[in-house]
Amino acid sequence: MDKFELIAPCHFGLEAVLKREITDLGYEIAEVMDGKVTFYGDAEAICYGNVFLRTAERILIKVGSFHAETFEELFEGTKKIPWENYIPKNGKFGVAKAASVKSKLFSPSDIQSIMKKAMVERMKEKYHLEWFPEDGDNFPVRVFILKDEVTVGLDTTGESLHKRGYRKLTAKAPIAENLAASLIMLTPWRKDRILVDPFCGSGTIPIEAALMAANVAPGMNREFLAENWTHLIAKKHWYDCINEANELVDYNVETDIQGYDIDEKMTKIARENAKLAGVDKLIHFQTRAVKDLSHPKKYGFVITNPPYGERLEEKVDLPPIYEALGERYKALDSWSMYLITSYENAERDLGKKADKNRKIYNGMMKTYFLQYMGPKPPKKTEGR
């Protein structure tokens, strides 16, 4: 198969960031929908999507789509999909996840069961077998049903793409790596600019920024399910993709990336995670309270994920934290500040209305990406 239609799910509200990433890789966009971007690509595109995309959750091969309002229609639609083109006789297969929105079929377990039966029936006919050992490679299927329209995808990734492999230790409420990368990409920050995260926790935002600065592909140090699917993707494509990723890395880049946390245990964890990511020399972590946030230089960026106070008893602690952040930001000369929070009174306590407020869903939680835009630095003039 020369060309696939590929589906890349992402956080709701960040589709435009992912679309730009896919376009930058050179692939044609098919459609942008809530929480996903579909694009066209060959077998090599599956490798490049998995290894290079910072903001996607996984890469799925779209194997079919059809309308279904009854389980019979779901069965017949699933049976029509040419599963034998994707799954070998000994492949392990089934519906790993089913999601349904505004559809007559809404029970995930029933959807999974019916579709598995249909897949077995199709493959019985094509492979002339009555029983499948399923002792080979894994071919998990993911299904989205929206307004009775069924989209069926084969998961090439396995463990979600936000798992880069460096975060062995986490904070209490860690931000996902792909969400952290998306937030940074929504700002004008570049590797030659200052970045400070005063609530760094396990270090995800500074680490993702350092990986971008050093041009480290997010998936170059992990494994993917489809690496073993040699009947669909030649091993050479994976080797070529990883070789190219290695050639692009520049650990000698000069950066001013800093992460602070009031908890000394967290700064130790952040340092350890940065070391595992190979970017510990590009980030300065320090145990420091937000009230001590300062920097002598101009035109820097605060990009952060402050406490949300999800539990009722924590809500009372939030006003002084946000007030302190607002005061310290005011004292920074010509800086910009970007923060993600679900705290409804964040702007009030920060003491300033955001220039822009973007709604992003962090899982099922509605959050706000508050953007305070400082002035642009003067253009550097070339010396004679």
Q: Which amino acid is at 121?
A: E
Closest to 213 (Cα-Cα) out of 240, 181, 168: 181
What's the pLDDT score for residue 381? 62
End-to-end CA separation in angstroms for the chain? 56
CA gyration radius, the chain: 23
pLDDT of residue 384: 39
The torsion angles phi and psi of 363, rounded to 5 degrees, stand at 70, -125
How far, in Å, are 168, 206, 236 from residue 276 at the CA level?
Answer: 8, 13, 27
Q: Residue 168: its pLDDT value, please?
A: 77
For each successive 10 residues of the chain (384 residues), what is the average pLDDT?
Answer: 90 96 98 97 98 98 98 98 97 97 96 98 97 97 98 98 86 85 98 97 97 98 96 97 98 98 95 96 98 96 90 78 97 97 95 97 91 92 50
What are 306's two structure tokens?
């402050």
pLDDT value for 364: 83
Phi/psi at 33 (5° precision): -125, 175
- What φ, ψ does residue 346 adopt, rounded to 5°? -55, -50
86/88 Cα distance (integer angstroms): 7
The amino acid occupying position 68 is A
Ordered DSSP codes for 108-163:
HHHHHHHHHHHHHHHHHHHHT-S-----S-EEEEEEEEETTEEEEEEESS-S-TT-
Residue 380 has a pLDDT of: 73
DSSP 3-state of 53? coil
Vertex 218 angle, CA 213 and 222, to 5°: 145
Please tell me the predicted confidence (pLDDT) of residue 171: 64
**Cβ–Cβ < 8 Å for 12, 360:** yes
Global pTM?
0.95
Torsion over CA: 266, 268, 269, 273 (sign): positive
